[in-house]
Amino acid sequence: MKPSQFAYHAPTELEEVLDLLAQYGDDAKVLAGGQSLMPMMNFRLLSPAHIVDINRVSSLAGFSLSDAGLFIGALARHREVEVSPEVELAFPILHEGLTNVAHVQIRNRGTICGSLAHADSAAELPSIMMALDARLNIRSKGSERVALAEDFFRFHLTSDLGPGELLVSVDIPAMSKNAFGVFEEITRRKGDFALVGVAVVGSWDENGKFQECRIVCSGVAPTPLRLREAENFVTGTDLSEAVLVAVQQLVMESLVPTEDIHSSAEYRKKVTGVIVRRGLARLTGQRRVQNV
Amino acid sequence: MSKETELDPVEAKMWISVTINGAKNAYLVEHRMTLADFLRKVVGLSGTHLGCEHGSCGACTVIMNGKAVRSCLLLGVQADGASIETVEGLAQDGALTSLQEAFHVNHALQCGYCTSGFLMSLVAQLRDGPIETEAEAREALSGNICRCTGYTGMVKALLNLPASNGQIGEGL
């Protein structure tokens, strides 16, 4: 349970990081929080020849909130974003999702961008970023590009990042005044990976109809999965009890989830329906609170 | 693709300067050595224990720059310039801290293997604010695993800490 030999690099400038990644390509792994990479190295599931530790690159640290939205740098730790009262107010769904990520000792170190780059299909943040239509800013030596969260996740533990590329930050567009988002998950114990999670976002129009709905599940497919059929079903409705019952049924009947040692496909199907309904029901509650 | 055989193990080391329990020193550390192994084998502080070595059990928890972290998921070289607190930094001249005393009095440990990790997790959390209810106590304990006690003694210990929670600081 010890990592195998590697060469350790601790650059202090972003350009140096990109140079190293360009030079070593697939032989290099980026070390940020290390809360997923280090276990894989301890298990020797990964034995990279080069570790590029970005923790000393101060330009990648921190996050900032503006009218345009939330900017999260590559080194922003889960915990620092979680405990920000401003973030909790502007993006309650993100705050809620972060409190569900492992335990505080892990969140003290783990980074949001690292979780996205790791692309674990059961993780909370990829589905939340997809529900919030986040933009991922990617750099490599001599070039940069932006990926939509929706296009970023390719397979379990596989993202759109190529050799030499670094996820330098994430931009989450501001939510409109009438938009809400909630996160729900089912775990064996709090802090475990979710068996199933769901991020639900939507807004209420002036006629009290539900619009701009995104329902994104984690833990049911090799990537976060948008439930478009369910989204279409609830869009334009008032999310009445009858609609909620029907959408739960729709999810249970249409979903074909993955199966693993942690739970059967049948169980995942059932609880996904339950938490989709639960999430949508909470959005109805938030509208009522807003109208009071 | 692993190229470990090409690396010279003698070269794959670096000097770091780190403050451990208040004392600053320089150490030569292998790149691949975890912070936990560095503390135990290079510094000789074996109070930090290793359970799972992949971040699940919490036995190796230490405080780095004021935050509780898993020392099995950090490299020793990453501690360069940092301040680390381990369980050896708690009791002064054999006098237990109030938290350690509460563990002792409330039977919060049996075999003791996980205890140092629990103590360091709790020290960091108590510095952020008091733990006043059973729910808060269980949440505070949730990042560490104990296979002996069933946690009841630890919950009791936390709820029976002297009412000096507000002044818990370096000397906890």
What is the DSSP annotation of A74-99?
A: TT-BHHHHHT-HHHHHH-HHHHHHHH
**What pLDDT band is residue B163 in, cutting at 50, 70 and 90?**
low
- Domain boundary assignment for chain A: 1-54+63-175, 179-291
- Residue A1 pLDDT level (bands cut at 50, 70, 90): confident
The answer, yes or no, to whether residue A215 has pLDDT greater than 60, is yes
- Residue B145 has a pLDDT of 97
CA–CA gap between residue A183 and residue A94 (Å, rounded): 8
Would the pLDDT of A288 be above 70?
Answer: no
Task: Tell me what the mean pLDDT of segment A225-239 comes to.
Answer: 97
| Cβ atoms B141, B154 nearer than 8 A | yes
Q: Which chain B residues touch A190 with a CB distance below 8 Å?
A: 139, 142
User: Which residues on A lie below 8 Å from B37 (Cβ)?
Assistant: 2
Alpha-carbon separation of residue B64 from A82, B18, B71 (angstroms): 19, 10, 9
Q: Which residue on chain B is closest to A8 by alpha carbon?
A: B31
> What does the angle CA A34 – CA A99 – CA A58 come to, to the nearest 5 degrees?
40
Pairing type for strands B67-70 and B61-64 reads antiparallel
Give me the mean pLDDT over the B25-33 stretch: 97
Percent of the residues in chain B that have a pLDDT greater than 90, as a whole number: 86
Position A159, amino acid: S
**For residue A281, what are the contacts with CB-CB under 8 A and spacing of at least 6?**
A239, A244
**A286, pLDDT greater than 90:** no
Domains of chain B: 10-164 (3.10.20.30)
Would you say residue B168 has pLDDT above 70? no
Amino acid (1-letter code) at residue B112: G
pLDDT tens figures, A112-139:
999 999 999 999 999 999 999 999 999 9
- What is the Cα–Cα distance from B168 to B46, expressed in whole angstroms? 25
Cα gap A241→A272, rounded to integer Å: 17
pLDDT digits (tens, 9 = 90+) for A41-73: 999 999 999 999 999 999 999 999 999 999 999
- Rounded CA gap, A221 and B158, in Å? 41
From 3.80.10.10, 3.40.50.10210, 3.30.465.10, 2.40.50.140, which CATH number describes the A1-54+63-175 domain?
3.30.465.10
Asked whether residue B165 carries a pLDDT value surpassing 50, the answer given is no
Cβ atoms of A123 and A42 closer than 8 Å: no
Q: What is the DSSP letter of B42?
A: I
pLDDT, greater one: A83 or B168: A83
What pLDDT is recorded for position A121?
93
Residues of chain B positioned with their CB less than 8 A from the CB of A31: 75
Looking at the partner chain, which of B12, B55, B78 has a beta carbon nearest the beta carbon of A106? B55
Q: What single letter denotes the amino acid at residue A30?
A: V
pLDDT of residue A99: 96
The CATH superfamily of A179-291 is: CO dehydrogenase flavoprotein, C-terminal domain (3.30.390.50)
CA distance B102 to chain A (A): 22
Which of A1, A5, A190 has the highest number of chain B CBs within 10 A, making it the mutation to test binding with B? A5
Chain B residues with CB within 8 Å of chain A CB: 1-4, 6-7, 9, 12, 14, 31-34, 37, 53-55, 58, 61, 67-70, 72-75, 77-78, 80, 121, 125, 139, 142-143
Q: What is the pLDDT of residue A193?
A: 86
Q: What is the tens place of the pLDDT at every residue in A146-190?
A: 999 999 999 999 999 999 999 999 999 999 999 999 999 999 988
Global pTM reads: 0.94
Contact A27 B4 (CB under 8 A): no
**pLDDT over threshold 70, residue A85:** yes
Q: Which pair of structure tokens corresponds to residue B121?
A: 């997790």
A110: closest CA of chain B, how far (Å): 10
- Distances in whole angstroms, Cα of residue A127 to Cα of each of A117, A131, A273, B65: 13, 6, 16, 31
| Whole-angstrom distance, CA of residue A150 vs CA of residue A115 | 15
Does residue B32 surpass a pLDDT of 80?
yes
Q: Is the ipTM of this complex over 0.95?
A: no
Q: What is the pLDDT of residue B9?
A: 56
What mean pLDDT do residues B105-132 have?
96
**SS3 (DSSP) at B19:** strand
In our burial notation (b when 16+ CB lie closer than 10 A, e otherwise), range B72-84 reads bbbbbbbbbebeb
Mean predicted confidence (pLDDT) in B13-22: 97
Q: Range with the lowest mean pLDDT among A45-49, A264-268, B159-163?
A: B159-163
Residues of A in contact with B80 (CB under 8 A): 10
Query: How large a percentage of chain A has pLDDT more than 70?
Result: 98
**pLDDT over 50 (residue B3):** no
pLDDT at site A191: 86
User: From CA A120, how far away is CA B16, in angstroms rounded?
Assistant: 33
Sign of the alpha-carbon dihedral angle for B4, B8, B12, B13: positive
Query: What is the per-residue pLDDT for B167?
Result: 42
Instruction: Select from B85, B81, B62 the least CA-distant residue to B72.
Output: B62
Render pLDDT for B52-81 as a digit per residue (tens, 0 to 9). Answer: 999 999 999 999 999 999 999 999 999 999
CB spacing of A38 vs B143 below 8 angstroms: no
